[in-house]
A and B are shown apart, each in its own frame.
Chain A
Amino acid sequence: MKKIGLVSIITLLLTFYCAAQSGNIRTINGFVYDAKTGEALIGANVYLKDINQGTSTNISGYFVIPDVLNGSHSLTCSYMGYKPWSQKINVSAKGENTIVIKLTPQSVQTKEVIVSADSIRIIDRLYERPISKLELNSTQINQLPRIIEADLLRTLQTLPGITALSDFSSALYVRGGTPDQNLYMIDGADVYNPEHAFGIFSTFNTYAIKKVEISKGGFGAEYGGRLSSVLDVTNIDGNRNEFTGVVNISLLSASTTLQAPIGDFGSLSGSLRRTYLDQTYAKWNKNIPAYYFYDGNLKAFFDLGLKDKLTLSYFGSSDNLDFKFNKQKSSDGFFYDWGNKTASANWKHILGNTMFLNLSTTYSAFESNFDFALANVKERNKIYDLSFKGGVEYYASKDFSTKFGFEQKFLGGMLLQIFQQGKADVSKQRRHTMLYGSLSYHPLDKLIIDAGLRANYFFSDKTYVDYEPRFSAKYRLGETYNLKVAAGKYYQYLNRIPRLFFTSIWTAVDENVRESSSTHYIVGLQKEVSEIYSFEAELYYKNYYNLYAYNQLSFVDVEPSSYEGATPVYTSSKGLFNRGDGRSFGIEMMFKRDVGPISGWVSYSLSRTEYVYDQINKGNKFVPRQDRSSVFNAVMNFDWNEFWDQFLDRNYKERTSKWLIGVSFVYSTGQPITVPASSYYVNTLPDWKDFNLSGEGLPGYNLYPSEINKYRLPAYIRLDLSISYEISYSGWKLTPYLQVFNLGNRKNIWFIDYANKVENNILYQTVEKTNMLPLLPSIGVTATF
């Protein structure tokens, strides 16, 4: 039966393929590049307006439009930040139907440019994009107000459905999911702990980024291994025409990104960033520890012909803390360092006009080392993976296309902890084999259906075999409306133990921990409000099974696996986690404008997440800390001069200098927290009983928690401002900037502290709050050449 099914599918594919090559029907394919730098443009829209057929470019900037009738057609291409392009083309049986399109960057897009005959309508561009997927480019990330440094993850926190836990964390909570449920990739390689400075900043250098795509749910069969989202970062290949660069200096760090051609067959790009507080402030202020981080990437792109492209990419990051209790003495303190390394080699090949092959090898490793000699505590923590991936995109006809591929991942992890009470010594290797296939079917002009299946074989202490069906459909509801639906099953085999100040530890499923799963259901509506405004709304529901949260009392529950003499050695995950289930649901709305002197978005989300864990809250339902009932975001970027020109109906004029203003506002309901229902007095140890009850911070004063996360902190509200002044010279630009984080200096509460004091036999209890970041200005300058 299975053989008959397989033969039928192959026959169908061949039939479509033959039909596509016969008679008066041809396939158009080609590439879309940046005319100035030669970079391939990802997600550019390419349309044949006269026959209303189109597509968008893939990760190589490659597009395919099958089943085009011979004859003359009008081909249009548009991409945000570029002048629309249009050209008459002649499709014939004998001619070459491969087209190379070069788009010219346009720094200011006036309304007249946007609505020209060459542009592609917003509703068409929205239709091409998969459900729950948002895209950002480097310019948008760098324009947003920031905490000292431009940060990709913090920019993403301003999008609907993505929240942050506090000002001190750049981690993403997507539609109620936790950060370990997000798949982070740089040039195809997984990144495990993308955080600097104890989570305050992420490791992504924004000047090295070409494109960021985030799928908040309902993602297709080509992605897997995580329950909530996929963050796919593609770095720039490099300028193929000339040497260019960016240098940025802020209060925290200096960074540079350089690009250059490699002959006329390739390009090279590289970035480097390093903080310098350890070389400046820390030298004369003994309260500032010697801490620094650096990150960098190198990418080489080789154009081996129209059909072959090769990319080699490397990324590395490192954080180093050398903490001395007394800076005058050289010995006492602790040392902590951690960092990521990823490398990838990717080959893209065009197999005939309608088939595209992508093969890659990636390596990713995260490692941390901690040494506190005075307390005899050491830790070494590492996770790494070596992956081989392959995928084929096949455009059989205008109604039918397919993707299929594989991924073979070899995973390893080790944890060595030596402490006074014992030792943890874990070293494990795992294998994860994945196969996927998906079909895209266009039965009607206005309807596209995608169905896919992903198969997982995870080899651990036992073998896990799981299947992940995926489904999505999009329907052109009217002239200005799209309707989209998606559903899918997702599995995850890795769990993360989050730790405050220390980097996370990753574990894999084993005899104690099963695979986690989630099912997504999403419905979305998109509306073209006008030529430059769009509106999107999405309703989603996710359930989770077998979630594993770190057991805060694991050191009480965990049992040693063996002994070295009398000293316990821990190697098992038993007792490390609490198991639970949960669900998230909500609605998100976004009103957006991408072009013009004002660009940005306004969004609102209403949502709820609930968990039920075996050992938490006595097994009763509770909301986790990332639950935010309502979140309102507004992000606006102004080209100030152009903005006033338009308002005052003045003619647009080219300027050598201009003001750029960025505003970001967030309102969010407060974080749920657990508060004590009562306090009580019990000495920590029996012989401490004779200690006189007086003074502050009594050692025997204890708090007894109430129901988990039943109390909400006050709302979190913040307004940020960014002011830049861009000055253009001959061949280069200088942009000094001022950033103000939390312009209103609102005292957003981070947590509550409970103080106690006994005076004259009276115990006084006070509740105090610790706030998040206050008004924080920072300055810097960027030079672009």
Chain B
Amino acid sequence: MKNFIKVLLIGFVSLSGLISCGDPKIDITSVAYEPKIVVEGYLFADEPVRGIRVMRNFALNQPIDTLSFILDPTITTVKINGDSLLFDIKTYSYYSNNIIVSKGSPYTLEVWGTIDGKELYTTAVTTVPADGFELIKKHPGKFKYGTPIPMDFIPLSPAGFYAFSIRPDSASLSNFIFDNEFNQDMKPEEIQKNLGEFRLRANVVFNIKPNLQDTIKQPIESYNTWFRSTYKTIIYAGDVNFKEYLLSAPNVKEFDGNFHEPKIILKGDGIGVFASAIRDTAYFEVY
């Protein structure tokens, strides 16, 4: 019995030592790829239908030519409220000169396309907000970096959802604020690699009740202004599709790598967004 235990112990320790090393590999090619029509479409009140992009999704394990994102327009049909849209070769998107988007109206999108020989169809409905918002100051002025930039507005949209796109007119290493409040040790190559992230900043507020008597204060803080430049802030009063897409689809991956499902806006074989909004722009400068 003792010899048996000796052998068992030595064997166990050796085996456990051997298999507790290593660098396991991952292979996710076994996950089945399913082709989907990808829609990126926004309607803006009082504007014609423009810039409706119809694309495809792609599998993860291969390089993709970005020009192949767009579905072949010769075998793709796009309609809004039954009217066919035309394809613009310069912008790779669909448009219509016959439809001027009205506040409070519903619009139904339908797309027929073929991906990898498979015929697909998707549809979605968006209702344009009946009202938007009133910006208190379109030109708040010039501000020293670190000063909160006032972006006050009176909420009027029944959907209660507002998104802010904050973009500098000029963004490069030459005007990047290296002495920022967060990390002063960033290397230029690191900044260059993540330039898109510093350049394109967003903010949202939602479930805001429309109210003529109240002003919502949404100052732009220093974590949204990384460059010394003039800025453009486009504010969108979006519909429920806008809200559901923005709050869910770009955030499906949790910090620890797990995923949850986004809100499904497009029915059938589609993913992406088809939404509407009322928009306005504010301008300021950071020095």
Contact = CB atoms under 8 A, between A and B. Distances in A.
A729 interface: no
B252 A686 contact: no
B60 A767 contact: yes
Contact of A708 (B57, B211, B261): B261
Contacts, number: 262
Interface stretch (B33-41, B80-88, B121-129): B33-41
Interface residues of B, number: 101
A706 B20 CA distance: 31
A589 to B, nearest CB: 16
A200 interface: no
Nearest to B160: A568
A679 B211 CA distance: 40
Given A500-B256, A682-B40, A687-B167, A754 B60 contact: yes
Contact of A714 (B26, B204, B210): B26
A719 interface: yes
Interface stretch (A210-218, A758-766, A776-784): A758-766
Interface residues of A, number: 91
Given A678-B36, A682-B273, A702 B254 contact: no
A742 B42 CA distance: 52
A508 B218 CA distance: 34
A97 interface: no
Contacts of B206: 421, 568
Given A684-B250, A703-B252, A714-B24, A697 B196 contact: yes
Nearest to A618: B261
Contacts of A717: 19-20, 22
B32 A326 contact: no
B98 interface: no
A705 B200 contact: no
Interface in B138-158: 155
A45 to B, nearest CB: 27
B59 A678 contact: yes
A713 B65 contact: no
Interface string B252-265: 11111111111100
Given A552-B254, A695-B196, A702-B250, A566 B208 contact: yes
A16 to B, nearest CB: 48
B55 interface: yes
B21 A744 contact: yes
A7 interface: no
B12 A763 contact: no
Contacts of B259: 673-676, 703, 705, 708
Given A667-B19, A719-B16, A763 B66 contact: yes
6 smallest CB-CB distances across A and B, nearest first, come from A751-B257, A744-B20, A714-B24, A719-B20, A744-B21, A674-B259
24 contacts: A166-B256, A325-B181, A326-B183, A420-B203, A421-B205, A500-B256, A555-B247, A559-B207, A678-B59, A678-B60, A681-B69, A682-B39, A685-B163, A691-B196, A714-B25, A719-B20, A744-B20, A744-B22, A747-B23, A751-B258, A754-B253, A762-B65, A764-B63, A767-B26
Given A553-B260, A767-B28, 20 more contacts: A565-B211, A566-B210, A566-B211, A568-B207, A618-B261, A667-B19, A675-B28, A680-B272, A681-B55, A685-B234, A685-B236, A691-B196, A691-B199, A691-B200, A704-B262, A705-B259, A711-B28, A752-B28, A753-B257, A763-B63
